[in-house]
Structure 1
């Protein structure tokens, strides 16, 4: 499960660039997410570790644009197809 900051950074990456490789600025990410540079760096590091974004040659790319939805069952005996 992603934290609020990680989710926000992932949405910013996706909305600005989609699946394209890009080189974001730290100040731009801080301004758009309204987070401190330390929070943004930690969130980006966690997104890379969790496999949501890739980092290569100083550029980023979104791999998975959102969290997978969890299926919630009200009845534990209910079969989901």
Structure 2
């Protein structure tokens, strides 16, 4: 079925960003969202490896859309995060 859909500006931007991030088409993402909302499971099972964690209750679904994180702290020149983790004084 063909359908015209008018999205709020925020939803349009989020859909476009998710399509770009995931490498999937906007149409594919919308189809999946409708299937999930209507509790229609595809014959091949979950599309993502984490779906079973969400349905089992081990992981909660996201509460909001993805936000780009802007780092507030930086490491000194020449120091790596692995150096902080690989210390003798850790327990």
- With structure 2 as the length reference, what TM-score do the two structures score? 0.26
